[in-house]
Amino acid sequence: MAHDEAQNALLNDTVAVSVGGVTIGGGAPIVVQSMTNTDTADIAATARQIIELAEAGSELVRVTVNTHEAAAGVGDLVRRVRDEGCTAPIVGDFHYNGHVLLKGFPACAMALDKYRINPGNVGAGRTRDAHFSTICRIAADNGKPVRIGVNAGSLNPDLVDEAMRRISGTPNSIPSRKPRSADYSVELGEASPEFILNGCMIRSALDSTELALSSGLREDQIVISCKSSSPRHLIQLYRDLARATRQPLHLGLTEAGMDLKGLVWSAASMAVLLEEGIGDTIRVSLTPRPGGDRREEVHAACELLQALGLRTFAPTVTACPGCGRTAGVLYQRLAEQTEAYVRARLPEWRGTYPGVERMTIAVMGCIVNGPGESKAANVGISLPGNDEDPHCPVFVDGLRTVTLSGTPEEIEEAFRGIIDTYVETRYSQASNVKSHD
Ligand code: SF4
């Protein structure tokens, strides 16, 4: 085995944690997760968003549990989601008062599939450990796993103070309590602030893991994250973290940002780590536009894993970028509509047409690459560039079948029909059985 492969195999060797039937770590496929942004006390709105996120491909959905009202409604919320046929595990996100809410609302503790705890804000001084332990004991009593979610922005200040004191005194190391998963220590020396921050975050995660274990949780009930908003920081942080623990890792920037920036920064950081075998579940923490579609973070996470060849979630729509050879917007419109159409039909297709997520579709702008790319796809269309005949040859599994013409609306409708027919014939249960004979 090459050195890189051996290293990746080592980093991949995490404990498997089951969250409501979905496995994180232990070599299981990397899990996509997301978080609602509705008021959890608004049960109808939150249930609707959980279902939307799950249908979009989110395999776990996290909800904020921050008030008595939210905690009191979690039981009904989960029931309503299950009654709608949605089985995605639901995770409760707790800050500051998790120990109070989980103790005060046993139905909430029972209904959730996992609790997220931020060890930086469960209390101060000695109450921190006590509150953290309370949550872990409730999790253990209910047979629920937890995520220990350390954030750069809400790190336990005592750890940073201690590290700074050590630096200003004798150069030393951040001592570890020797977590079972690793003997972790950071040599401080002439350490940069970022290096110190990494050390403190990892130390917080590992010490908290020890505390969770001593509070009754098992190793196969603990997921860890150490999030930052800087891609370069995140990469180094998770490389160090992956060497220090066998607990499965939840990967993502704390706050990725909006639109293009959020997408690029998330992909830039997570792709590097995933390629190195680091990360067992991911979330793309995009800032939504006001009134925006929360499912974008799920689509982004799925696209990222699919781009890296780690998972297959949805048919791929390949479209050319366009250039001076095509002045019309038909190929752009058709590419956009095809992608939206496939996404809208996918939840239904998934159940009826197994394997449909591997389908490839091409929408191309002119004769230069149009026929070639279209032939390489399962279904492809080559639209006319400038000065070409206004005809659109369609290719199915490499063979030219029909040539479409007419108004943009007519071409769009006919192309959707061709896609539907392909899905129904190629991926129907009967044809799958036949193709395996
Ligand atoms: S397929 Fe044609 S229109 Fe599209 S980018 Fe290539 S040359 Fe330009």
Distance between Cα 359 and ligand 1 center (Å): 22
Please report whether residue 437 resides in a domain: no
Query: Which CATH number fits the domain that encloses residue 174?
Result: 3.20.20.20
Indicate whether 43 belongs to any domain: yes
Q: Bridge partners of 226?
A: 150
If you measure from the C-alpha of residue 367 to the centroid of ligand 1, how many angstroms do you get, rounded to a whole number?
7
Alpha carbons within 13 angstroms on the beta-carbon side of residue 58 total 28
Residue nearest to atom 2 of ligand 1 (CA): 366
- pLDDT exceeds 60 at position 275: yes
pLDDT category of residue 9 using cuts at 50, 70 and 90: low
Range of the domain at 86: 3-307
Residues 303 and 328 in one domain: no
Q: Which ligand 1 atom sits closest to the C-alpha of 324? A: 8
Instruction: Name which of 15, 11, 13 is nearest 222 in CA terms.
Output: 15
**Quick one: pLDDT band at residue 155, thresholds 50, 70, 90?**
confident
| Range of 79-88, 168-177, 422-431 with top mean pLDDT | 79-88
CA of 311 to the centre of ligand 1 (A): 29
Count: domains in the chain: 2
Do 299 and 219 lie in one domain? The reply is yes
User: Among residues 307, 330, 351, which one ends one of the domains?
Assistant: 307
Locate the ligand 1 atom nearest the alpha carbon of residue 364 and give its number.
1
Same domain for 78 and 178, yes or no, is yes
Q: What percent of the chain has pLDDT over 90?
A: 76
Quick check: 436 pLDDT over 60? no
Higher pLDDT, 124 or 143: 143
Q: Determine the distance separating the centroid of ligand 1 and the alpha carbon of 252, expressed in angstroms.
A: 35
Q: Are residues 274 and 400 in the same domain?
A: no
For residues 290 and 370, state if they share a domain. no
Report whether pLDDT(8) > 70: no
The answer to which of 1-15, 215-229, 284-298, 356-370 has the lowest mean pLDDT is: 1-15
Altogether, the residues listed in the chain come to a count of 437
Taking Cα atoms as reference points, which of 263, 282, 301, 315 lies closest to residue 57?
Answer: 301
Q: CA-to-CA distance for 305 and 297, rounded, in angstroms?
A: 13
Cα 187 to Cα 12: distance, rounded to the nearest angstrom: 25
pLDDT tens per residue across span 303-332 = 999 999 999 999 999 999 999 999 888 899
Inter-residue contact 279 to 249 (CB < 8 Å): yes
Do 320 and 303 lie in a common domain?
no
More confident residue, 421 or 228: 421
What is the distance in A from the centroid of ligand 1 to the CA of 403? 19
Please report the atom of ligand 1 found closest to the CA of residue 366: 2
Higher pLDDT residue, 404 or 175? 404
What atom in ligand 1 is closest to the CA of residue 323?
A: 8
Residues 6+ apart with CB under 8 A from 426: 353, 359, 378
Query: Is residue 298 situated within a structural domain?
Result: yes
Q: Does 169 score more than 90 pLDDT?
A: no
Domain assignment of residue 435, yes or no: no
Q: How far is the CA of 345 from the centre of ligand 1 (A)?
A: 28
pLDDT category of residue 433 using cuts at 50, 70 and 90? low
pLDDT for 177: 39
* Residue 106 shares a structural domain with residue 219: yes
Lowest mean pLDDT among 43-47, 118-122, 163-167: 163-167
Q: Provide the pLDDT for residue 167.
A: 63
- Per-residue confidence (pLDDT) for residue 11, from 0 to 100: 55
| Residue 119, domain member (yes or no) | yes
Please give the helix or strand (H or E) that residue 277 lies within, else none.
none
Does residue 364 register a pLDDT over 70?
A: yes
- Ligand 1 binding pocket, CB closer than 6 Å: 320-323, 325-326, 364-366, 368-370, 385
Report yes or no on 214 lying in a domain: yes
Position in ligand 1 atom list of the atom nearest CA 367: 2
Structure tokens at 198: 């990494």
Q: How far apart are CA 229 and CA 226, in angstroms?
A: 10
| Ligand 1 center–CA 395 separation, angstroms | 17
Residue 397 has pLDDT above 60, yes or no: yes
Residue 152 has pLDDT above 90, yes or no: no
Give 83-127 as a DSSP string: HTT----EEEEE-SSHHHHHHH-HHHHHH-SEEEE-GGGS-STHH
The verdict on 90 and 222 lying in the same domain is yes
Whether 236 is in a domain gets the answer yes
Hey, which of 332, 364, 382 would you mutate to test ligand 1's pocket, going by the most ligand atoms within 8 Å of its Cβ? 364
152 secondary structure, DSSP code: G
Of 268, 287, 307, the residue that ends a domain is 307
Residue 388 alpha carbon to ligand 1 centre in Å: 13
Whether residue 182 is found in the same domain as residue 275: yes
Q: Are 254 and 354 within one domain? A: no
**Shared-domain flag, residues 196 and 297:** yes
Q: What is the mean pLDDT of residues 406-411?
A: 93
Counting ligand 1 atoms within 8 A of each CB, the residue from 318, 323, 363, 367 with the most, and so the one to mutate, is 323
Asked if residues 163 and 185 have their Cβ atoms less than 8 Å apart, the reply is: no
Residue 340 belongs to domain with CATH number:
3.30.413.10
Q: What is the mean pLDDT of residues 2-8?
A: 53
Residue 183 has pLDDT above 70, yes or no: no
- C-alpha of residue 385 to centroid of ligand 1, in Å: 8
Q: Please state the rounded mean pLDDT for residues 178-202.
A: 62
Final residue of a structural domain among 284, 307, 330: 307
pLDDT for 162 equals 76
| Nearest alpha carbon, ligand 1 atom 7 | 368
The tens digit of pLDDT for each residue in 34-81 reads 999 999 999 999 999 999 999 999 999 999 999 999 999 999 999 999
Establish if 436 belongs to a structural domain.
no
**Comparing 172-176, 255-259, 289-293, 312-316, which segment has the lowest mean pLDDT?**
172-176
Same-domain status, 76 and 156: yes
pLDDT band at 181 (very low <50, low <70, confident <90, very high): very low
Quote the mean pLDDT of the chain.
90
Q: Which residue has the higher pLDDT, 201 or 1?
A: 201
Q: Which atom of ligand 1 is nearest to the CA of 326?
A: 3
Residues 76-119: pLDDT tens digits?
999 999 999 999 999 999 999 999 999 999 999 999 999 999 99
pLDDT band at 437 (very low <50, low <70, confident <90, very high): very low
pLDDT attached to residue 178: 37
